[in-house]
C-alpha cells in the first residue's frame, strides 16, 4: 500500500463504523428504511444533501446516466443521485469501512440495485476507459496531492463530452488553515489549491469549463443556521449528525471550518466541466 493511502485510511477509518451508526440510530429511535432516513449524517460536506441536489441540477444529471462518485464516503451523495435523479451510480473510496457502511445503508433504503460501491484509489481507478457519462466528487480533492493524475484518470473513464461535476474546498488568500479539519488533522494529507490553479489544471487535463461558482458565502450562511439550531442536550440520546463520521474531534473540526472560512483561509467552489474530444 502507498504511504498516502495508509494516511487517508488512518484519518477517516473507524473500526466497526457500520455497527456504530446502527447502534446510534437505534438509541435515537430512528429506523433506516428510506433514503431520507440517513440524510443527517451521510453527506460528508458543507450544506449536506442540499449541496448535492444543487450541483446535480447544475450538472444536468438525469435518469439513466451512469455516474462515478469519486471518494464516495458512506454513500449519501451516490444514493441521492440515484434516488432523486434516476442515475445508476458507482462509488469508489479508499476506506474499506466507508464502502462497507455505504453498501449496508444502501441495501437498507432499497437502492442496492442501482448503487454499487468498491474500495479503490480515485487516482488509479478500477474501471474501463470511457465507461461513465459523468464523474462526480464532493470534498475530496483537498486530500489528493497528485491532482494531475486524478484528472487524467477521470478523463480516461469518461466518455467523450462526459461531465465532471465537483464541489470542493480551495485555499483562500491567507494560509495555512487552522487544523484539525474534517479532511485532515494536520498539513500532511491536506493539499489545498487556489481556485484559478484548480481550474487551470482541469483545462490542461482536457476539460472545458461549463460553470464555476464560489459558494463560500452560502457555506458560511449554512453554518450560521446550523449553530442557531443547536440546542443544549439534556438527554442521553446520540446526535445523528456528521459527528458519527468525524469522531471525538468533531466539534473542533467544525469550529475550524467556520474560522477558516471567515478568515479567508479556505473557500468553497462548485464546478461543472465537459470532457473535450
Ligand atoms: C470529506 S469525505 C467526503 C465523502 C463524500 N464525497 C461525501 O461528500 O459525503 C472525503 C472522502 O474522500 C476519500 N478519499 C480521499 N482520498 C482518496 C483517494 N485517493 N481515493 C479514494 N477516496 C479517497 C476519503 O476516504 C473520504 O471518504
Q: What is the pLDDT of residue 128?
A: 98
Q: Which range of residues forms the domain containing residue 182? A: 3-275
The set of residues, in sequence order, having a beta carbon less than 8 Å from that of 139 and lying 6+ positions away, is 44, 45, 46, 71, 167, 168, 169, 182, 183
Q: What CATH number should be reported for the domain holding residue 123? A: 3.40.50.150
Task: List, in sequence order, every residue forming a beta bridge with 66; answer none if it has no partner.
Answer: 88
3-state class (DSSP) for residue 266:
strand
If you measure from the C-alpha of residue 62 to the centroid of ligand 1, how many angstroms do you get, rounded to a whole number? 23
Q: pTM of this prediction? A: 0.97
- Quick check: 171 and 197 in contact, CB under 8 A? no
If you measure from the C-alpha of residue 121 to the centroid of ligand 1, how many angstroms do you get, rounded to a whole number? 9
pLDDT tens digit string along 250-273?
Answer: 999 999 999 999 999 999 999 999
Q: What is the pLDDT of residue 86?
A: 98
> What is the total count of domains within the chain?
1
Atom of ligand 1 nearest to the CA of 122: 20
Average pLDDT score over the chain: 96
Q: What is the mean pLDDT of residues 106-135?
A: 98
Q: At what angle do helices 250-262 and 216-229 cross, to 10 degrees?
A: 140
Q: What DSSP line would sit under 72-136, residue for residue?
A: -TTSHHHHHHHHHH--EEEEEES-HHHHHHHHHHHHHTT-TTTEEEEE-BTTB-SS-TT-EEEEE
Alpha-carbon distance of 11 to 17, in angstroms, equals 13
pLDDT tens digit string along 207-220?
Answer: 999 999 999 999 99
Asked if residue 153 has its Cβ within 6 Å of ligand 1, the reply is no
If you measure from the C-alpha of residue 236 to the centroid of ligand 1, how many angstroms do you get, rounded to a whole number? 31
Question: Which letter does DSSP use for residue 181 in this model?
Answer: B
Amino acid at each position: 500500500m502507498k504511504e498516502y493511502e495508509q494516511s487517508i485510511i488512518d484519518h477517516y477509518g473507524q473500526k466497526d463504523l457500520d455497527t456504530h451508526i446502527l447502534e446510534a440510530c437505534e438509541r435515537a429511535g430512528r429506523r433506516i428504511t428510506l433514503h431520507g432516513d440517513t440524510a443527517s449524517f451521510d453527506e460528508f460536506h458543507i450544506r449536506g444533501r442540499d449541496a448535492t441536489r444543487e450541483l446535480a441540477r447544475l450538472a444536468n444529471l438525469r435518469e439513466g446516466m451512469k455516474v462515478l462518485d469519486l471518494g464516495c464516503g458512506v454513500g449519501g451523495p451516490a444514493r441521492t443521485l440515484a434516488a432523486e435523479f434516476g442515475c445508476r451510480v458507482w462509488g469508489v473510496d479508499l476506506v474499506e469501512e466507508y464502502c462497507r457502511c455505504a453498501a449496508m445503508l444502501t441495501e437498507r433504503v432499497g437502492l442496492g440495485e442501482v448503487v454499487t460501491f468498491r474500495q479503490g484509489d480515485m487516482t488509479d481507478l478500477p474501471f474501463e476507459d470511457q465507461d461513465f457519462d459523468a464523474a462526480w466528487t464532493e470534498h475530496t480533492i483537498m486530500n489528493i496531492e497528485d491532482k494531475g493524475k486524478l484528472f487524467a484518470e477521470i478523463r480516461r473513464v469518461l466518455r467523450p463530452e462526459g461531465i465532471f461535476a465537483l464541489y470542493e474546498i480551495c485555499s483562500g488568500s491567507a494560509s495555512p488553515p487552522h487544523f484539525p479539519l474534517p479532511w485532515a488533522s494536520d498539513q500532511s494529507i491536506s493539499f489545498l489549491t487556489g481556485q484559478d490553479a484548480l481550474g487551470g489544471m482541469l483545462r490542461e487535463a482536457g476539460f472545458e469549463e461549463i460553470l464555476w461558482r464560489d459558494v463560500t458565502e452560502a457555506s458560511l450562511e449554512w453554518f450560521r443556521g446550523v449553530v442557531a439550531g443547536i440546542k443544549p442536550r439534556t438527554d442521553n440520546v446520540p446526535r445523528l449528525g456528521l459527528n458519527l463520521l468525524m469522531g471525538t474531534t468533531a466539534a473542533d473540526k467544525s469550529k475550524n471550518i467556520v474560522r477558516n472560512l471567515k478568515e479567508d483561509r479556505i473557500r468553497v467552489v462548485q464546478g461543472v466541466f465537459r470532457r473535450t474530444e
